[in-house]
Amino acid sequence: MVNIFITSLIAIFVSNSPFSQDTIQSKNSIVLSMNAEMSKLDFFHNIQVNTELYNLLSLEASVGVNVNKTYFQRSFAPQFSIGIGYDLLKSKNRWKLIPMIKSRTTMIDLSESSRLRYLEGSVGYSLAYGEKWYVTQGAFIGRGKEWYNTIDSQVNYWAYSFYFGFGYEF
Amino acid sequence: MSFKAFQYIVFLLIFFSCNEKESFKDVRIISHGVSGLYNPKSFHIDNTKEAMHYVLKFEELEGIEIDVQHSLDGSLWMFHDEFLDDRTSELGRVCEKTDVALSQATYMDLNSTSISRLSSIDWSLNNGDKDVYLDLKNLNACISEAYTPGQFISILDEINGKEDVNVFPIINDTAFAHTIHNVGYKVFSDALSYGEAKERLSLFYHGVVVRNGILTSSEVSNLQINNKKVILLDMFSMSGVRDGLRKYPSAVLVEDFKSAIIERN
């Protein structure tokens, strides 16, 4: 029984370790995608990059804009996010299911002299289907904070977001 | 084909970004029901102390509308609907409840937020000049429990002029409103049509609150003669707010005040 356990541990180490032969030989893919996101704060339009770290962890970073503020109110409101997760369906099929923790920040200029800043931390999943072209979807829930001009936090709130997009693997 | 679609999207973006932005600096922004009565982006329940303390800190916000109703004991409580049933742990009308019963009632939200008494607001949190519109609702809902103008005036006196706050009552009951007007307050009234708005303004009323869809821009300017005020409400989207601003009323009563401030600026 102990032997089976130790053998299993070695097998996991050999197949997933950053130092394993498999990792050294594998190619690090980059998926570039565009998505539309609905969140507690507003609608966003993002460009997202997904890649793998040591063939073990999945990294996600995105830049985007608040659609209503930027396109329809001509007040540039950017958003940045970064997330890290693990692909549960690794190399199994065309699906990627990545439970993920994510942090994102955005800001809105209320006037020339005052700005609202937001920081959110959330957990959720990122789902992708495809080979070269991917359809992506994700949902997150967490907590957020808003700052208004000063460094004092104005309010804490429940944050949520849901996105849908498509991407291409390079 | 896909490249043509891309070109089309780029053209649309350039087209929208090149439109000249109109300025509505003279139109004041008032937040409806404190933080928005129908605002999914709001962090707080409408007409609560928490929402009030939040919005008071925004210097760019020039006005706050609060829906108030009197209790059985004659205190003013912040609540919009006539009945408590749909949104809180209590049943019945606000005016049928004692202060003790109302202080124990909570909204059906995750935080079990309490119904707020007007006197619980900390006005020292105010940042910048604010017009506070006290919308006295359901005044005659409990006939047996008379709420007197004198009681309301004492509340107005407590708030008015404190921490750069100017208070304006919104009262539809003409006799009640006239008494308030006689002690020097500028009173507003709701109006359901242009005709009713005109009739109200011909009396002692300082201004009217009217739905945006009812009035044209020429009707708005007609009503504003003799320095009378017109506040437009019922604007749930940004295009609705823009439509309201283009009529150049005295103020717009909006759900999402942050977006409205950006639009106005």
Q: Is the pLDDT of residue A157 over 50?
A: yes
Asked, for residue A79, whether it belongs to a domain, the answer is yes
Q: What is the mean pLDDT of chain A?
A: 84
pLDDT for A18 equals 42
Closest residue by Cα to residue B234 from B254, B263, B216: B254
Q: Which domain holds residue A73?
A: 28-169
Tell whether B3 is covered by a domain: no
In a domain, B93, yes or no: yes
A118 close to A144: Cβ distance less than 8 angstroms:
yes
A133 domain residue, yes or no: yes
Measure A40 CA to nearest chain B CA, in Å.
6
Q: How confident is the model at residue A94 (pLDDT cuts 50, 70, 90)?
A: confident
A113 vs chain B: nearest CA distance in angstroms? 10
Cα B112 to Cα B127: distance, rounded to the nearest angstrom: 28
AA letter at A62: S
Residues 196-235 of B with CB under 8 A from A: none
Measure the CA dihedral A169/B4/B5/B8, to 10°.
130
CA–centroid distance for B216 within its chain: 21
Q: What is the CATH number of the domain that holds B29?
A: 3.20.20.190
pTM across the whole model: 0.84
Q: How confident is the model at residue A14 (pLDDT cuts 50, 70, 90)?
A: very low
Report the alpha-carbon distance of residue B78 to residue B94 in Å, rounded.
Answer: 10
Say whether pLDDT at A1 is over 80. Answer: no
Q: Does residue B6 lie within any of the structural domains? A: no
What span, in angstroms and rounded, lies between the C-alpha atoms of A21 and B217?
Answer: 74
Tell me how many domains chain B contains: 1
| pLDDT given at position A9 | 39
- Asked whether residue A101 is assigned to any structural domain, the reply reads yes
In the beta sheet, which residues pair with residue A127? A97, A137
Query: Does residue B95 lie in a domain region?
Result: yes
- Return the pLDDT at B144: 65
Rg value, chain B, Cα: 20
A86 occurs within a structural domain:
yes
Of residues B19 and B154, the one with the higher pLDDT is B154
Please answer whether residues B257 and B64 qualify as being in contact, where contact means their C-beta atoms are separated by less than 8 angstroms: no
Query: Would you state the pLDDT for residue A7?
Result: 43
Residue A15 domain flag: no
In the DSSP assignment, the letter for residue A54 is: T
pLDDT of residue B7: 66
Least confident of A88-102, A127-141, B38-52, B119-133: A88-102
A166 and A134 Cβ atoms separated by less than 8 Å: yes
Domain membership of residue A18 (yes or no) is no
Lowest mean per-residue pLDDT among A12-16, B47-51, B161-165, B170-174: A12-16
Instruction: Among A23-32, A131-140, B105-114, B253-262, name the one with the lowest average pLDDT.
Output: A23-32
DSSP B205-221: -SEEEEEGGG--HHHHH
With a cut of 80, say whether residue A12 has pLDDT above it. Answer: no
Residues A38-69 pLDDT 10s? 999 999 999 999 998 877 899 999 999 999 99
pLDDT of residue B15: 56
Q: Is residue A20 part of a domain?
A: no
Q: Is B237 on the interface with A (CB under 8 A)?
A: no
Average of per-residue pLDDT values in chain B: 91
pLDDT band of A150, cuts 50, 70, 90:
confident
Average pLDDT over residues B226-255: 94
**What's the CA gap between A124 and A141, in Å, rounded?**
6
The answer to whether position B228 is within a domain reads yes
Q: Which residues of A touch B110 (CB under 8 A)?
A: 158
**Does the residue B231 lie in any domain?**
yes
Residue pLDDT, tens place only, B68-102: 999 999 999 999 999 999 999 999 999 999 999 99
Cβ pair B44, B50 in contact under 8 A: yes
- Domain assignment of residue B77, given as a range: 22-264
Instruction: Collect all residues of chain A within an 8 Å Cβ-Cβ radius of residue B259.
Output: 68-69, 73
Q: What ipTM score was computed for the predicted complex, to two decimals?
A: 0.83
pLDDT at B138: 87
> What pairing do the DSSP bridges indicate for beta strands B28-31 and B63-70?
parallel
Query: How close B178 comes to chain A (CA, Å)?
Result: 39
Q: Which amino acid is at B91?
A: L
Q: Residue A16 has what pLDDT?
A: 43
- A-facing residues of B in 116-175 (CB < 8 A) are none
The answer to whether residue B14 is domain-embedded is no
- pLDDT score, position B203: 95
Residue B5 falls within a domain, yes or no?
no
Q: Count of domains in chain A?
A: 1
Q: Which helix (H) or strand (E) holds A67?
A: helix A67-67
pLDDT grade for B145, boundaries at 50, 70 and 90? low
pLDDT digits (tens, 9 = 90+) for B5-53: 666 666 666 555 555 556 798 999 999 999 999 999 999 999 999 999 9
% chain B with pLDDT above 70: 91
Percent of chain A with pLDDT strictly greater than 90: 61
Is it the case that residue A91 has pLDDT exceeding 70? no
Nearest chain B residue to A156 by CA: give it. B43
Does A13 fall in a domain? no
The stretch A7-15 carries a mean pLDDT of: 41
A61: CATH: 2.40.160.20
In terms of pLDDT, which residue wins out, B63 or A131? B63
B53, closest residue in chain A (CA to CA)? A154
Residues in chain B: 265
Q: Which helix (H) or strand (E) holds B263?
A: helix B257-264
Q: Side chain identity at B9, as an amino acid letter? A: I
Q: Taking CB atoms and an 8 Å limit, are B262 and A110 in contact across chains?
A: yes
Residue B119 predicted with pLDDT over 50: yes
- The answer to whether the Cβ–Cβ distance between B238 and A110 falls below 8 Å is no
pLDDT computed for residue B23 by the predictor: 76
